[in-house]
């Protein structure tokens, strides 16, 4: 069915050793984890060197693989489907079902893999200084390494089960890392909250995977000859026009609930700010490239399923885009009432994840993935910057109002990197956030989701405003509290209960050391192990945007070529292809006709593909217009200026008209209370849902325990006691004891009967001897005669 005459049909794809062996990448940190656990404490650097070396190795391998992938993609025409590099082994099989493990490497997997390896490396280097002297230093590095291994395994997963494996490893490690200083009750509660909240979502992951498996397996086995656990199988099935809309919708919604939990989307975002209880490097890793990105990654990975299941582009509203839009606004609003610098950043992350979800929900796949990429760098930089401040300037406090202010003079490097990352986050040209966020907003509008484009613009305004407020409080104005050189004795108790403290990290330093650097030197710049990662990240916060700089024309849109899957109809056998080394060969069908407006269009996603299958839906890209970009830039600058003005009035000049306004004005006060109480969601979850569900369950369980289980146990006890009594009386006492006693009595009787013989008298012995001899002789005589 293939015409050999078309050029595309003859395309042979290059591969390379690194591209074929990406599956080794997650194994490296997994092995390093085991080594750190067993031998870490005996090593000169307590195991941190193993973690860093393994991260550098994964970084090198994934970079090399990305390079080879770029070669593979650029060697062919832009409208040719480039098959992912797939390897699969049977993990285990049971009753006809076989579960594979392997790699599914394409542009999406590689870009996220590189980001994870890169950020993990920097975070581990940073942690060497930040956690210096911590009492669980080795375990910290072990968990950090396993965490990266989990994310990498998830990213390269060939099928859903492997993805779930990595997903759950991350859940476990985030629990361990958030609760790293578990001696403080608040930290272990935060760890539990993170774990349980994400677990709530994870139910959706299992349900969704099972629903899709049973709905799709018949089709994938027949058409492709592979299990429908595989990502390529599910993608092809979703776009085949085969699935019933109920099955795929239920599956997609269930999977998206898992993403809501993992990626901190409304209404399950509540665990994310509390997760700030962990050490700052953990927050940085968690919020930039791993854990929270997992949910977004899952949507991007199984995009055809969501595309069909949620009817993306079909209507102008759907589940994903609504959740994303709500998350952007509510999280950004919450960031205004936080005094803890890390919580501002946490809500900022939630808000930015909302952008990614909204982009995915509105068909802006590439901008969303691009935003994952850029966001990782500037958000990691911001978190590490906050850690740098608390480490060196504010006595391990994160309270902006009490312990910061005026730090730009003391910490020039931290300040510069912070400003660069903040501008990137706000989306100011030419920093990276501008390219990615603007592209999302632009494409959301372009695809007909006008309402959500406005939500995105409002979000951009709010982002600029709360980041300006945080920057002002931290780096400008006058120094306050710890950063002014004040030493508080009660560093643990002076802040409100929400504030997180990294003070625990430094137990072994002793408090004297602490006091000396606070009082004699005041705030100062952090050491090289902290500033160098900051500088690297700041450079990338500027530079990473140019990888897909739409304003400068198509030549700059590198990621579009490298990462976006091509929506072409391809031969079914090539989708199922498992390349065991060597270049995978794929044959494309003749290219479709050019449509009138000159755009190449493919039937994938919009109609049932004939003579083949699709693995990616055809998406549109908005044409970049400076007029639209100028509007969003004006909005961002307005946000910065208004916020700067208000911050000056509120925090520096103490303007009477503004200070205390929330107390005087009822409406504003109500709004403030709503935000300060986090929309009462925590109260709802803990007081209403937990009480309404958990308490009856526990009461019912108690009743069953008391009545049913105890009854059964008691009944069994009574039966056992009665039968044991009978056995005791009849068998033990009579039979067994009787035998023992009677044998004793017999022995005693025989003894006393024979006792007189042993008289001690020699003569009697002699008489007995001769008597016996005489009797013996008589017997002998009688026998012989």
**Contact residues for another protein (CB under 8 A)?**
754-763, 766-767, 770
669 vs 766 by CB, closer to another protein: 766
- Contacts of residues 604-612 at CB distance under 8 Å and 24 or more positions apart, as own/partner, are 604/239, 604/567, 604/568, 604/569, 605/239, 605/304, 605/307, 605/308, 605/313, 605/567, 607/241, 608/240, 608/241, 609/239, 609/240, 609/241, 609/569, 610/569, 611/1, 611/569, 612/569, 612/570, 612/571, 612/572
Whose Cβ is closer to another protein: residue 4's or residue 753's? 753
Q: Tell me whether residue 713 or residue 775 sits nearer to another protein (CB atom).
A: 775
- Closer of 725 and 766 to another protein (Cβ): 766
Closer residue to another protein in complex, CB, 214/765: 765
Residue (634 or 768) nearer to another protein, CB: 768
Least distance to another protein, CB of residue 761, Å? 6
Q: Which is nearer to another protein, 768 or 779 (CB)?
A: 768
**At its nearest, how many Å lie between another protein and the CB of residue 750?**
13
Nearer to another protein, 497 or 752 (CB): 752
Instruction: Give the rounded distance of the alpha carbon of 724 from its chain centre.
Output: 57
Helix ranges (DSSP H) in 523-652: 528-543, 558-562, 572-576, 626-647
Minimum CB distance to another protein, residue 742 (Å): 23
Q: Which of 280, 487, 515, 288 is nearest to 398 (CA)?
A: 280
The span from the CA of 482 to the CA of 487, in Å, is 6
Asked if 253 and 302 count as a contact pair (C-beta separation under 8 A), the reply is no
HSE-CB at 157 with a 13 A cutoff on CA atoms is 24
DSSP calls for 508-521: GG-HHHHHHHHHTT
Min dist CB 775 to another protein, Å, is 14
**504-530 exposure pattern, b = at least 16 Cβ within 10 A, e = fewer:** bbbeeeeeeebeeebeeeebebbeeeb
By C-alpha distance, which of 688, 692, 693 is closest to 267? 688
Q: Which is nearer to another protein, 515 or 773 (CB)?
A: 773
CB of 747 to another protein, least distance (A): 14
Q: How far is the CB of 720 from another protein (least distance, A)?
A: 49
For the CB of residue 781, give the shortest distance to another protein in the complex, in Å.
15
Q: For residues 222 and 761, which CB has a smaller minimum distance to another protein in the complex?
A: 761
In the bound state with another protein, the residue whose beta carbon lies nearer, of 44 and 760, is 760
**What CA–CA distance (Å, rounded) separates 61 from 28?**
10
Closest CB to another protein among 582 and 751? 751
Other CB atoms within 10 Å distance of the CB of residue 450: 12
| Distance from C-alpha of 441 to C-alpha of 80, rounded to nearest angstrom | 28
Please say which residue, 520 or 763, places its beta carbon nearer to another protein.
763
DSSP summary character for residue 732: I
Are residues 248 and 302 in contact, defined by beta-carbon separation less than 8 angstroms?
no
Report in angstroms how near the CB of residue 724 gets to another protein at its nearest: 44
Q: How far is the CB of 785 from another protein (least distance, A)?
A: 18
Spatial CB neighbours of 98, under 8 Å, sequence gap ≥ 6: 90, 91, 92, 227
Which burial class, exposed, middle or buried, applies to 484 when counting CB atoms under 10 A from its CB (0-12, 13-18, 19+)? middle
The nearest distance, CB 735 to another protein, in angstroms, is 33
The three-class DSSP label of residue 496 is coil
Report d(CA 511, CA 698) in Å as an integer.
45
Query: Nearer to another protein by C-beta: 762 or 781?
Result: 762
Q: Smallest distance, Å, CB 774 to another protein?
A: 9
- At residue 613, φ and ψ (nearest 5 deg) are -130, 160
Tell me the closest approach of the beta carbon of residue 745 to another protein, in angstroms: 19
- Give the length of the chain: 785
Minimal distance, residue 751 CB to another protein, in Å: 9
CA distance 348 to 380: 12
CB 777, min distance to another protein, A: 12
Q: How many CB atoms lie within 10 A of CB 143?
A: 23
Least CB distance to another protein at residue 759 (A): 6
Quick one: 724 or 773, whose CB is closer to another protein? 773
Q: Please, are residues 19 and 65 in contact by the beta-carbon 8 Å criterion?
A: yes
The answer to whether the bond into 415 is cis (omega within 30° of 0) is no
Judged by beta carbon, residue 656 or residue 761, the one nearer another protein is 761
Q: In this structure, what are the phi and psi dihedrals at residue 159, rounded to the nearest 5 degrees?
A: -145, 175
According to DSSP, the residues that pair with 99 across neighbouring strands are 92
| 241 touches 190 (CB < 8 A) | no
Query: Residues 6 or more apart from 451 whose CB is under 8 A from it?
Result: 316, 317, 325
- Please list the alpha-helical segments (H only) found in 653-709: 661-664, 666-676, 681-683, 695-703
Nearby residues of 284 by Cβ (< 8 Å), 6 or more positions away: 119, 123, 126, 379, 380, 383, 384, 387
Nearer to another protein, 520 or 758 (CB): 758
**521 or 759: CB nearest another protein:** 759
Residue 751's alpha-carbon distances to 744, 758, 760, in angstroms, are 10, 11, 16
Strands (E), 80-168: 85-94, 97-105
């Amino acid at each position: 069915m293939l015409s050999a005459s078309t050029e595309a049909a003859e395309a042979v794809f290059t591969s390379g050793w690194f591209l074929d062996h990406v599956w080794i990448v997650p194994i490296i940190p997994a092995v390093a984890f085991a080594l750190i656990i067993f031998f870490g404490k005996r090593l000169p650097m307590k195991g941190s060197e193993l973690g860093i070396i393994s991260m550098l190795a994964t970084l090198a391998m994934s970079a090399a693989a990305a390079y080879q992938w770029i070669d593979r993609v650029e060697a062919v025409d832009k409208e040719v489907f480039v098959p992912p590099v797939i390897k699969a082994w049977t993990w285990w099989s049971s009753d006809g079902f076989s579960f594979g493990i392997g790699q599914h490497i394409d542009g999406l997997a590689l870009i996220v893999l590189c980001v994870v390896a890169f950020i993990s490396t920097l975070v581990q280097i940073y942690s060497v200084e930040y956690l210096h002297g911590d009492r669980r230093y080795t375990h910290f590095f072990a968990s950090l390494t396993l965490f990266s291994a989990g994310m990498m395994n998830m990213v390269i997963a060939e099928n859903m089960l492997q993805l779930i494996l990595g997903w759950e490893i991350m859940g476990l490690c985030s629990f361990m890392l958030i609760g790293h200083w578990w001696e403080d009750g608040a930290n272990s509660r935060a760890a539990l909250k993170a774990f349980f909240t994400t677990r709530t979502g994870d139910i959706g992951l299992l349900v969704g995977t099972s629903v899709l498996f049973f709905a799709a397996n018949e089709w994938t086995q027949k058409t492709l000859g592979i299990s429908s656990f595989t990502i390529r199988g599910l993608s092809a099935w979703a776009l085949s026009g085969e699935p019933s809309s109920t099955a795929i919708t239920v599956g997609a919604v269930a999977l998206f609930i898992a993403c809501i939990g993992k990626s901190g989307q409304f209404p399950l975002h509540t665990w994310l700010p509390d997760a700030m209880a962990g050490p700052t490097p953990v927050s940085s890793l968690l919020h930039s490239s791993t854990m929270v990105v997992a949910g977004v990654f899952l949507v991007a990975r199984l995009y055809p399923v969501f595309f069909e299941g949620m009817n993306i582009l079909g209507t102008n509203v759907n589940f994903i885009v609504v959740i994303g839009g709500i998350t952007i606004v509510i999280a950004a609003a919450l960031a205004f009432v936080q005094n803890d610098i890390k919580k501002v950043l946490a809500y900022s992350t939630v808000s930015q994840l909302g952008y990614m979800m909204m982009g995915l929900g509105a068909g802006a796949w590439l901008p969303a993935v691009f935003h994952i990429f850029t966001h990782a760098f500037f958000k990691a930089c911001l978190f590490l910057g906050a850690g740098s401040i608390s480490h060196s300037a504010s006595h391990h406090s994160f309270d902006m109002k009490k312990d910061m202010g005026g730090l730009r003079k003391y910490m020039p490097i931290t300040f510069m990197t912070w400003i660069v990352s903040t501008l990137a986050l706000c989306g100011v040209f030419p920093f990276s956030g501008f390219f990615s966020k603007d592209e999302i907003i632009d494409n959301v509008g372009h695809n007909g989701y006008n309402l959500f484009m406005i939500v995105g613009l409002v979000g951009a305004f709010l982002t600029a405003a709360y980041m300006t407020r945080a920057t002002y409080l931290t780096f400008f104005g006058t120094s306050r509290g710890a950063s002014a050189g004040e030493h508080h004795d009660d560093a643990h108790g002076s802040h409100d209960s929400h504030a997180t403290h990294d003070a625990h990290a430094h137990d072994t330093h002793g408090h004297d050391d602490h006091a000396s650097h606070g009082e004699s030197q005041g705030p100062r710049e952090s050491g090289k192990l902290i500033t160098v990662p900051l500088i690297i990240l700041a450079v990338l916060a500027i530079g990473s945007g140019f990888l897909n700089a739409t304003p400068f024309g198509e030549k700059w849109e590198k990621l579009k070529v490298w990462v976006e899957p091509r929506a072409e109809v391809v031969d079914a056998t090539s989708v199922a292809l498992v390349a065991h080394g060597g270049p995978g060969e794929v044959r494309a069908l003749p290219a479709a006709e050019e449509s009138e407006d000159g755009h190449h269009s493919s039937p994938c996603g919009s109609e049932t593909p004939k003579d083949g299958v699709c693995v990616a839906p055809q998406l549109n890209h908005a044409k970049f217009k400076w007029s639209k970009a100028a509007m969003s830039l004006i909005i961002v600058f307005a946000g910065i200026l208004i916020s700067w003005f208000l911050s000056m009035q509120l925090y520096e000049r103490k303007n009477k008209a503004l200070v205390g306004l929330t107390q005087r004005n009822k409406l504003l006060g109500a709004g403030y209370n709503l935000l300060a109480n986090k929309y009462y969601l925590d109260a709802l979850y803990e007081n209403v849902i937990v009480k309404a569900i958990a308490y009856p369950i526990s009461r019912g369980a108690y009743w069953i325990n008391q009545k049913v289980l105890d009854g059964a146990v008691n009944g069994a006890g009574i039966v056992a006691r009665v039968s044991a009594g009978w056995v005791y009386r009849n068998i033990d006492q009579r039979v067994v004891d009787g035998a023992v006693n009677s044998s004793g009595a017999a022995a005693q009787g025989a003894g006393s009967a024979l006792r007189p013989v042993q008289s001690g008298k020699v003569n009697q012995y002699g008489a007995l001897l001769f008597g016996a001899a005489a009797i013996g002789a008589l017997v002998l005589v009688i026998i012989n005669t």
